Amino acid sequence: MEKENPEKITGPQPVYLTQLPPQDFEEDEIDLLELFMVLWKRKTIILSFTIAAAVLAVIVSLCMTNIYQSDAVIIPRGGTKGPNLGALGGFGGMAASYLGVGGGGSGSVEEMQSILKSKRLIFRLIREKHLMPRLFPKAWDKKARQWKDPDNAPTIQDGYKALIGLLHINTDKKVGTLTVAIQHRDPEFARELVQWLINALSEALRQRTLNDSSENIKFFRREIKKTSDPLLKEKLYTSLAKEIERRTFAMAQKYYGFYVLDPPIVPDKNKKVKPKRALICILSTVSACFISIFLVFFLEYLENARNKLKSKESDLHSQTSIS
């Protein structure tokens, strides 16, 4: 009788499962209970710290000065056409290249934004409107009409930084509008600054057009005297007339280069933009509560560490006494 070869035996082998130790589901409950007991043990610290922070936030927010905003919404005018240099053919193209004649006096939103923030415009506005004492009222002596500390008096560059800090410009590229806003504690001064800024912007665009137009008029008159071709001279006269019309149009407009869709107004006393006192109080209270909780756990950790150290010292002292 043949013996069975164990190597030839095939088939599924039994799998023996080891029994896992039961999980301790009470551990999480115990940990949460311990945390709650720590918080309850030091609830006085949490409540005191949170209430003190809330009261302090209310006091500080009430002491903060109300800030008001006045703004104006403007939109560039459609491209006004300059001299008809295209009618002169190659000569007109050469003139346009020489003079750099563009498409009228209207500026783009990006260009107007750059002009509003330029040092040239801000410096001129500060000097013309005598804004330095109003930008730095604490350093100005109204009675003596001079700076309290002449040696450390603010400069025109300090005035530029101060005014730029009040100025807020937003652009809407979809609509193509530009919002010029001033935030200041004096609502009337905020409105005046916005009005002065858009006036200064208009004058800057107007002056640029007038300067270009004067150069173009000189150029056309000079070319009219030099040319003997009657057809070319007639075209030059036509371009000269359009350039004079362009200059007249620039001088006649109240706001040159843009329309004022929404003029600035004096905001009401109850229409402040900041501080947002309710938000300040809520955030301060919530932050203080979380900080106090972390502080409580840290104090508990220090206390436990101190108790463990005392326990070890006591055990060591006991062993020494027995020996």
Closest by CA position to 258, among listed 181, 205, 210, 211 = 205
Whether 250 maps to a domain, the answer reads: yes
Sheet holding 177-184, edge to edge: 167-172, 177-184, 68-76, 258-262
Residue 150, domain member (yes or no): yes
Total of domains in the chain: 2
Has residue 223 been placed in a domain? yes
Q: Enter the tokens of residue 315.
A: 């055990």
Helix, strand and coil content of the chain, in percent to the nearest 5, comes to 65, 10, 25
Question: What pLDDT does residue 84 have?
Answer: 45
Q: Are residues 53 and 202 in the same domain?
A: no
Same domain, 96 and 164: yes
Residues 95 and 185 grouped into a single domain: yes
Contact 247, 209 (CB under 8 A): yes
Whether 271 maps to a domain, the answer reads no
Please tell me whether residues 159 and 54 are part of one structural domain: no
Residue 4 is assigned to a structural domain of this protein:
no
Which pLDDT score is estimated for 269?
A: 87
H or E element, residue 227: none
118 is a domain residue = yes
User: Could you tell me the CA-to-CA distances from 241 to 181, 236, 281, 299 in Å, in that order?
Assistant: 39, 9, 66, 87
41/129 same-domain check: no
* Count of Cβ atoms closer than 10 Å to residue 159 Cβ: 20
- Among candidate residues 168, 169, 147, the one with its CA nearest the CA of residue 158: 147
pTM of the model: 0.70
169 and 252: one domain? yes
Within this chain, do residues 81 and 180 fall inside the same structural domain, yes or no? yes
User: CATH code at 126?
Assistant: 3.30.1890
Pick the last residue of a domain from 217, 234, 262.
Answer: 262
Is residue 203 in some structural domain? yes
Q: Decide if 179 contacts 57 (C-beta within 8 A).
A: no
Examine the domain organization and report whether 118 and 46 are in the same domain: no
- Whether 52 and 170 have beta carbons less than 8 Å apart is answered as no
Domain co-membership, 254 together with 120: yes
User: Do 183 and 83 fall within a single domain?
Assistant: yes
N residues, the chain: 323
| Whether the Cβ atoms of residue 167 and residue 116 lie closer than 8 Å to each other | yes
Helix (H), strand (E), coil (C) string for 80-99: CCCCCHHHHCHHHHHHHHHH
The two structure tokens encoding residue 193: 């600054």
For residue 89, give its domain range.
Answer: 68-262
Residues 111 and 258 in one domain: yes
Is residue 235 a part of any domain in this protein? Answer: yes
Per-residue pLDDT of the chain (323 residues; tens, 9 = 90+): 444 555 555 555 555 555 555 555 455 455 788 888 888 888 899 999 999 999 999 999 999 999 999 999 999 986 444 444 444 444 444 444 333 344 445 568 999 999 999 999 999 999 999 999 999 999 999 999 999 999 999 999 999 999 999 999 999 988 899 999 999 999 999 999 999 999 999 999 999 989 998 899 999 888 888 888 888 888 988 888 898 888 888 888 889 999 999 999 999 988 899 889 999 999 999 999 999 999 988 988 888 888 888 887 777 777 776 66
The predicted structure's pLDDT at residue 153: 93
What single-letter DSSP state applies at residue 173? Answer: T
Q: Looking at residue 312, what DSSP letter applies?
A: H
pLDDT of residue 305: 86
Whether residue 160 sits in one domain with residue 215: yes
